[in-house]
Amino acid sequence: MAVRLGYENVYRYAEGLQDWKEMGLPTESGQISLAQPSGIGAPGSALFQSGLLLTLVGVFFGGLALNLTPCVYPLIPITVSYFGARGTDKAGLLAVHSLFFLLGLAVTNSTLGVVAALTGGLLGSVLQHPAVLIAIATILVGLALSFFGLWELRLPGFLTQAASRSYGGYGGSLFMGLTLGVVAAPCIGPFLIGLLTYVASTGNPYLGFMLFFTLSLGLGIPLATLAFFSGKLDRLPRSGEWMIWVRKLLGWVLVAMAAYFIKPLFSSHLAGIILLSAVILAAGVHLGFIDRTTGTFRVFGWLKKGIGIALILFATYQIISIVSIGAGVAWQPYSEQLLKKATSVEKPVIIDFYADWCAPCRELEQITFHDPEIVNLAKNDFVMIKVDLTRKGDSINEHLLRQYDVRGVPTVVFLDKEGKELSQLRVLSYVSPSDFLNRMATIPGAGS
């Protein structure tokens, strides 16, 4: 599924279609063939282009990892025993009980995701303010400290008691799934809150549903599957310190989410990527080498070091890749005063409409806007402005979309010295450095 936002070869993933419609902008949607390219930088599908599939896979594995925390892992024998006590040896009936359990878990988490998205969407431009982003990042780091063992999230006793009650029949299996999150809240609560915060910032209920439904599958499928193999439970690793290491791993996930939230505070998009890479590097060093947690099975030590080394190598590769491309164009945030100043000093203006989820935008940023000739010409002869459309709700951005008739991203607008657009130069997809440089050179006064 691809969505064309007004211009040829300008794609945004289908998940963002509702956002664009709410801004009153024209859209077209339709099926595309995976055998044909769907635009520069896309591997054949808008879903893959946006990274949504990778995000869902990551959330699913996050759900799997939650099963290995100290609060959930001991529940595995209890859950399996519960299914075994249903008094049936028929695999079909046992499967129905498992499905009701998964349904209960999915209903709880998916509802939380949708509500968080709808509530977060009401915040609108509030989520654009630096103070709010810093506050969110601080909360996420605080939740991460819970996973690191510095404090523990506790629920009121009456909630835990209510969730621990036993009910019979399929309704009992459903109720067990509904309340699993309450019983395991001390371990999974910080991770859920962190994910809820991210979903709230997007204001997208569809994304909220997909992420939390996927999380439920990751958390619930192992429990439901083990119900069919209750005789194999003695082969599971014993509870021990290794589960503390899993909690620390999830803690670093929350720290990475905090870094993601403060990324917009950096003037350079690449600086934000370096920050994320630094967090991953620190996580690899801590989890693989500094942490002294021991396991009850031999493979744990090798597994711990292997994951640490993998994180270090990935982060190092990212940092080296970014540093090697050198300095990029120095962008400034949009303001009316900046445009007036450009007109007064008779400098042409380039406005880049950008979003993090846009693959061609990232390609422009990392290749074209880091070309030395473009960087030099932009510094001396142009006023460079970037409009970040990653998050919706900013009234100024919505005004600019209409003012410049922006129907998709990337869109790069060229204004002459008098502030009038040179529409024939407008960029609507990825262009090479030489192509972009030629457009800059055609503007009167540039490069003189």
Task: Name residues of the chain where pLDDT drops below 50.
Answer: 1-15, 31-50, 87, 124, 155, 158-160, 162-164, 166-167, 231
Burial group, residue 258, by CB count within 10 angstroms (0-12, 13-18, 19+) = buried
Q: Per the domain annotation, does 269 fall within a domain?
A: no
Q: Dihedrals φ, ψ of 351, to 5°? A: -115, 120
Choose the final residue of a domain: 241, 268, 292: 241
Are 415 and 340 members of one domain? Answer: yes
Whether the CB-CB separation of 350 and 384 falls below 8 Å is answered with yes
Task: Find the radius of gyration of the CA atoms of the chain.
Answer: 25
Domain containing 361 — which CATH number?
A: 3.40.30.10
Range of the domain at 99: 51-241
Question: Are residues 129 and 225 part of one domain?
Answer: yes
pLDDT for position 313: 96
Which one-letter DSSP state was computed for residue 427? Answer: B
Same domain, residue pair 35 and 87: no
Let me know if residue 410 belongs to a domain. yes
Residues 196 and 80 in one domain: yes
* pLDDT of res. 322: 75
- Read off φ and ψ for residue 333, nearest 5 degrees: -70, 150
In a domain, 167, yes or no: yes
Is the domain of 141 the same as that of 129?
A: yes
Torsion sign across C-alpha atoms 19, 21, 25, 28? positive
Which of 190, 207, 241 finishes a domain?
A: 241
Q: Do 42 and 141 fall into the same domain?
A: no
d(CA 101, CA 372): 58
Confirm whether 417 is domain-assigned.
Answer: yes
Query: What is the reported pTM?
Result: 0.54
- In a domain, residue 281? The reply is no
Q: Distance between CA 305 and CA 315 in Å, rounded?
A: 15
For residue 207, give both structure tokens: 């994304």
| Region of 141 on the Ramachandran plot (φ > 0 left; ψ -120 to 50 alpha; else beta) | alpha
In a domain, 210, yes or no: yes
